[in-house]
Amino acid sequence: MRNANACVPPPPPAARRRHPCPSMAATELHVLGYALGIGLGVPIGMVLLYLVLVHSFSSGNDSFGGSIPYAWTPSDRVNRMLDIAPVLKGDIVYDLGCGDGRFILGAASRGAQAVGYDLAWFPYAQARFCALLFGQGRVRVERRDFWHADLSSATVVCVFLLPQQMVHLQRKLLREVSPGCRILAYRYGLPGWQSQDTGYNDVFKYVIGKGTPEPKGD
């Protein structure tokens, strides 16, 4: 069997936009904060404090694999993932590490019920705020460790986790979700599971079934 990370043909250059590395996780906010600070005449010390706070509150710890850096998935990729799932009216969507909530908000705009979990204060607050404004009553955001959340009602699960956490995720999925649940992974695939062809080398789709193999390793 081909490795899940290599099962998708190389996409065109426009589809190869990478997720920002952890050191650039809050680039958009950094630029905005710096520009606003300078434009409004805010003392440089206050701007620097702002940047420190963004870094401090933009990662969270989980039960497996330690700290999870906060990094945005590009909006064009989010929209493509919603199509790939596909997320439809009536779906129940979980985003494990939802960041600013753009995936669950996109799911809600398509008529799905969506739940997002994030432990980091800054993205959690962003997601809660956006859910109140744009969630249409179909989005719930919780600041909690998703490893302890019940995923049994999920029809779609979206993740962007570190490779060392994927085996633990596979076991959780096999324990909790029902056959037919679609799993979307961004950047890192689930080891030993065959991804469907998504047209992108950094988006992986799996459908849980009775024949889905147990993961190997710790």
pLDDT in tens, the chain (218 residues): 333 333 333 343 333 333 333 333 333 444 444 444 445 555 666 556 655 555 555 445 454 444 555 566 778 889 999 999 999 999 999 999 998 899 999 999 999 999 999 998 888 998 999 999 999 999 999 999 999 999 999 999 999 998 999 999 999 999 999 999 999 999 999 999 999 999 999 999 999 997 898 887 66
Tokens matching residue 57 = 């509150």
**Cβ proximity of 4 and 197 under 8 Å:** no
Q: How far apart are the first and last CA of the chain?
A: 21
As a residue count, the chain comes to 218
- Reported as type and span, the H/E element at residue 142 is strand 139-142
Question: Are 196 and 206 within 8 A, CB to CB?
Answer: yes
Q: What 3-state class would DSSP assign to 137?
A: coil
- The whole-number pLDDT of residue 152 equals 98
Helix axes 44-56 and 27-39, enclosed angle (nearest 10)? 160
Whether the ω angle into residue 86 lies within 30 degrees of 0, i.e. cis, is yes
CA distances from 42 to 26, 29, 51 (A): 20, 16, 13
Which 8-state DSSP code applies to residue 180? T
Here the CATH number for the domain that contains residue 84 is 3.40.50.150
Name the token pair of 151: 């995923």
**What is the rounded CA–CA span in Å between residue 164 and residue 64?**
8
- Alpha-helical segments (H) within 57-182: 75-84, 102-109, 121-134, 166-176
| pTM exceeds 0.75 for this model | no
pLDDT at residue 120, as a whole number: 87
Q: Is 66 exposed, middle or buried (0-12, 13-18, 19+ CB in 10 A)?
A: exposed
What pLDDT shows up at residue 116?
A: 98
Ranges of H-type helices in the chain: 27-39, 44-56, 75-84, 102-109, 121-134, 166-176
Domain count, the chain: 1
Lookup: tokens for 8: 């998708």
For residue 88, what are the domain limits?
Answer: 1-218
Q: Find the largest Cα–Cα distance for the chain.
A: 61
